[in-house]
Amino acid sequence: MRNYLEKLMNKQNLSLDEMKDATTQCFRDTVSDSEIAALLIGLRAKGETADEIAGIVEVIRRESLQATNQIPNVMDNCGTGGDGSNSFNISTTAAFIIAGAGVTVAKHGNRSISSKTGSADVLEHLGISLSLSKEQVEEILAENNIAFLFAPHVHPKIKRFMKVRKDLRIPTIFNLIGPLTNPVELNTQLLGVNKRDVLPMMAESLGKLGRKRAIVINGAGYMDEASLAGDNHISLLDQGKITAFTIHPSDVDLPVYSNDQIRGGDAKENAEILLSVLKGNPGPHLDTALLNAGLGLFANGTAASVKDGVEMARESVVSGAAIEKLQRLISYSKKIPSEVI
């Protein structure tokens, strides 16, 4: 560990293998909390690279109790958070629309950190279990195309990292990697980030982690979701090649709304918004969810274009397929003994 810390102090990047080794050591009692803090601070001060991000993610996924590659053609859609927009749970809502369009979604998420309500908060309010076992996740994904994986439940071994993060009270590499640590082996991904300058680096990281296709997006107003407020900046990863482009709502026949019009509230209010969207009630919440679901379907390769993806997303809602995915997940959760987390 000392050699790695000295490299970081000298502003030298760690290779992917070096980052994997450093992270592996952090899971052992021989490494102190101070050394973990030094590693996180050193990476932050130098600036993280795609290799360093991929390295730490590979080890965290390996150490997860629920790591699995048993589900074919599965994706996730999630943002890093931290954009300060206090929007409703956009990616969570869009996940059910994507699943309703026939794509398998392993939705990875957490409780509220920077926003009022995290994905876990709103789904728990709706009656969805946060404590699915690996076998239950695989079963419900096969049956219903969507399951929720609660980050603290699937990553119990990273408590030391979380303690150090809390003590440091500054942004670290963990502010970037949360959505990448999904323990399910993903083929494709839609990833939202709140910083525009990291788009290509995060796309490169996804490629190193084995994603065949992925979209990394920074929305209008620097949201970590696609926004209807203006141009959305995108890096598309497709078979190892990364290209950049922008999407404006008018490009996909959607209206323009300000980001203030998609603000959310507490878990109860955001659950009501989610249900309203899946029932097809028109307005900025529905249109925002359709844009994000359309991008997810394009990222997955199911849709040939973002515009086609938006139309597929609309059909998922209108047909009732999207809300059926939610209802089935709630019904499945009711059969599982509750566990307080």
Binding site, annotated residues for 5-phospho-alpha-D-ribose 1-diphosphate: 79, 82-83, 87, 89-92, 107-115, 119
Alpha-carbon gap, residue 35 to 56, rounded angstroms: 15
- For the chain, count helices (H), then strands (E): 15, 7
Residues near 120 by beta carbon (within 8 Å), at least 6 away in sequence: 109, 110, 111, 130, 148, 150, 151
Task: Give Cα separations from 183 to 61, 152, 179 (angstroms).
Answer: 5, 12, 10
Q: Is 21 exposed, middle or buried (0-12, 13-18, 19+ CB in 10 A)?
A: middle
Alpha-carbon gap, residue 203 to 211, rounded angstroms: 9
> What tokens does 333 get?
């959760």
Alpha-carbon gap, residue 291 to 109, rounded angstroms: 20
Do strands 188-192 and 213-218 pair parallel, antiparallel, or not at all (unpaired)? parallel
Provide the strand spans (E) within 224-281: 232-238, 241-247
Task: Give Cα separations from 307 to 33, 75, 95, 185, 206 (angstroms).
Answer: 48, 19, 17, 27, 24
Alpha-carbon gap, residue 247 to 227, rounded angstroms: 10
DSSP labels for 162-214? HHHHHHH-S--THHHHGGGG-SB--SEEEEE-S-GGGHHHHHHHHHHTT-SEE
DSSP state of 338: P
What are the binding residues for anthranilate?
79, 110, 165
What are the binding residues?
79, 82-83, 87, 89-92, 107-115, 119, 165, 224-225
Identify whether the C-beta of residue 45 lies closer than 8 Å to the C-beta of residue 8.
Answer: yes
What are the binding residues for Mg(2+)?
91, 224-225
DSSP labels for 118-163? -HHHHHHHTT--S---HHHHHHHHHHHSEEEEEHHHH-GGGHHHHH
Residues near 112 by beta carbon (within 8 Å), at least 6 away in sequence: 118, 121
